[in-house]
């Protein structure tokens, strides 16, 4: 095992500035999957479970969303919410039981609501309720991607170390080119955030600046 006195952020910058592996690259058609951008995780003024890495995150997500809609490509939003009994959280919901706990994001609660700053079109966009980290797990996402004949998955939301990572691994495992715009994902602590961005960049996805992703989209017809 290698050791280092560098911070997770510094190690990430070393990897991004000196890439050792070629990119997976963009394909021909993409889906935008915005993961769990709900108040429990975005409203730092309301909830202890919320986090912010880049203050422009939600605006960037809206800009990507607009480009996907222009192209007629699918836009997906996921969120989590659980029954009063929390039985649908399974074993994942047994570690803690506090007002901030995952399984206590209840249906109809403010924590379950999407952030009002997001540009969500409930008629055109696809909205999935998920129970576990990956957006692919027991949702219809895979079928949607097959129907739209996409080969590239662009991921935004949070957390980088949890649902973004889990979805990226599942995306790659299903044969999709996977793109993570750095400014569009967030986590509770910079250590988790940058450590997982590093691992994603080395193994499972292309971690790119959002401006590069936007430029690619702008060039598509």
122 belongs to the catalytic site: no
CA angle, 62 as apex, 148 and 201 as ends, to 5°?
70
What's the rounded Cα separation, in Å, for the pair 175 and 45? 39
Beta strands in 8-161 (DSSP E): 30-35, 75-80, 126-130, 152-158
Centroid of chain to Cα 66: 17
**Contact by Cβ (8 Å): 193, 44:** no
Considering 163, 184, 185, 213, which one is annotated as catalytic? 163
**Contact by Cβ (8 Å): 139, 31:** no
**Contact by Cβ (8 Å): 111, 68:** no
**Contact by Cβ (8 Å): 89, 163:** no
CA distances to 9, 16, 100, 195 from 115, rounded to whole Å, are 27, 30, 17, 26
Instruction: Please list, in sequence order, all residues whose beta carbon lies within 8 angstroms of the beta carbon of residue 82, skipping any fewer than 6 positions away.
Output: 88, 89, 93, 102, 103, 104, 105, 106, 107, 131
Active site residues: 163
């Amino acid at each position: 095992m290698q050791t280092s006195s560098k911070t997770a952020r510094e190690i990430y910058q070393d990897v991004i500035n000196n890439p050792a592996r070629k990119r997976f690259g963009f394909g021909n058609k993409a889906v935008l999957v915005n993961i769990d951008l709900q108040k429990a995780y975005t409203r730092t003024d309301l909830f202890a479970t919320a986090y912010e890495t880049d203050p422009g995150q939600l605006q960037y997500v809206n800009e990507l969303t607009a480009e996907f809609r222009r192209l007629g490509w699918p836009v997906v939003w996921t969120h989590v919410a659980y029954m009063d009994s929390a039985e649908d959280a399974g074993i994942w919901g047994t570690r803690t039981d506090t007002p901030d706990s995952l399984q206590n994001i209840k249906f109809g609660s403010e924590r379950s609501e999407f952030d009002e700053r997001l540009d969500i079109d409930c008629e055109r966009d696809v909205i999935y309720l998920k129970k576990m980290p990956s957006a692919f797990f027991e949702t219809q996402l895979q079928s949607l991607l097959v129907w739209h004949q996409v080969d590239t998955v662009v991921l935004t939301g949070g957390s980088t170390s949890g649902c973004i990572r889990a979805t990226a691994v599942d995306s790659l495992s299903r044969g999709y080119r996977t793109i993570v715009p750095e400014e569009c994902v967030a986590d509770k602590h910079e250590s988790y955030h940058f450590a997982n961005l590093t691992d994603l960049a080395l193994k499972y996805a292309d971690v790119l600046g959002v401006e590069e992703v936007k430029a690619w989209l702008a060039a598509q017809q």
